[in-house]
Amino acid sequence: MSTAIAGAANGADVFFILMGAILVFAMHSGFAFLEVGTVRHKNQVNALVKILVDFAVSTLAYFFVGYGVAYGIHFFVGAATLNGNEGDLFAPQGRDLVKFFFLLTFAAAIPAIISGGIAERARFWPQAAATAIIVGLVYPFFEGLTWHGNFGLQNWLTAAFGAPFHDFAGSIVVHAVGGWLALGAVVMLGRRLGRYTRDGRLVGFPPSSIPWLALGSWLLCIGWFGFNVMSAGSLEAISGLVALNSLMAMVGGILTALVVGRNDPGFIHNGALAGLVAVCAGSDVMHPLGALLTGGVAGALFVVMFEWSQRRMRIDDVLGVWSLHGLCGLWGGVACGIFGLTSLGGLGGVTFLSQLVGSLGGALYALAAGFLVYGLLRQTVGIRLSAEEEHRGADLAIHKIGANPEAEMPAR
């Protein structure tokens, strides 16, 4: 009887984690359509292809290298051992295998985030190479520090500040790392042709399709409840608090982006994502009111910093991924150390200083890695389309077909 109960419990956990992996995998279609709707028509095919190919490259990089870097586990054993039928290296019924799938979908989100920042002028194969390097080495190194306790960083933070760095679902590990990597990539790549006049004024490139952009946001929002809730890793550890906090942060982000963004649909749909980015770290320890405030600040932060970075800093970040993922993720890591405190209605187990050090450390690490990876690629193979290719658009220059080929054919 006990064996049957244990088997059922393992099977339930396998299914639970698998459903989480599928939901987060579906989020990649959200990344794709968010980019499709934001870029110009001549770059829509490229946006779709990049996200899918980056996922495939990420899978191989994480399977052969990255997962071992983060967790010290490799898959070069027999299938019976992988499935937990022989020995105790892997959990029964392949639970560790679906955990790999789940964590892979997180890792693959990094190049999907970067893709939005470097859209419309990046070469295809150098970006695929960057994806392999980032998902194989750069991301899992920090993932292992935070989520596996590698090199004693978490023990040091606990001894120094009273608690380890807490990032339940990746405000820093995934989103801030992705956003700050993207900042380095965007700066190394340079601005799109015609984006600024000679005297530095911003030239508006309006989104090609608000409906596609909105669809991308909706897909991401739906999948995010798998991203956050199923980070629990088992049915036993699941928490309804995570679901409610995710909902409240999303709503907070929508409403502040609505007001600060002056009804702009692009800001509103990205405001939802800003709130969700920010709440990932503390979604399991915050009070729902704390999550609402965290998301609300993130929605306003995204709008203000997107406009400031584009107009004042002249950073041509197409989807605003540094503002959305980099800065809102950084805020979320710090906010966990504020609204997770018991004095502010949270569950505790966090300290402000640990959150501040861990959050800033993750951002600085990713920024340095972004400049290093894309700087090396720029010097060796080049990372930018030629002026002629950029003018034609990445669809025709790289893939030899546009998003609406019949409409683009010359009249007979």
What is the pLDDT, as a whole number, of residue 90? 82
Distance between CA atoms of 315 and 127, rounded to whole angstroms?
A: 19
Quote the pLDDT of residue 298.
Answer: 98
DSSP summary character for residue 275:
H
Q: Model confidence over 150-195: pLDDT tens digits?
A: 999 999 999 999 999 999 999 999 999 999 999 999 999 999 999 9
Evaluate whether 325 touches 273 at the Cβ level (below 8 Å).
no
The rounded distance, in Å, linking the Cα atoms of 73 and 154 is: 20
Whose structure tokens read 């952009």? 213
Residue 412, classified by CB atoms within 10 Å of its CB into exposed (0-12), middle (13-18) or buried (19+), is exposed
| 209-222 confidence digits (pLDDT tens) | 999 999 999 999 99
**Alpha-carbon span 219 to 234, nearest angstrom:** 24
Tokens read off for 340: 């997770």
Tens digit of pLDDT for each residue in 380-404?
999 999 999 999 999 999 999 999 8
Asked whether the beta carbons of 358 and 147 are under 8 A apart, the reply is no
Residue 115 and residue 189 in contact, taking contact as beta carbons nearer than 8 Å: no
With a threshold of 0.85, does the pTM exceed it? Answer: yes
R_g (Cα) of the chain, nearest Å:
21
Centre a 10 Å sphere on the Cβ of residue 381 and count the other Cβ atoms it contains: 11
Token pair 């994806």 is at which residue?
A: 131
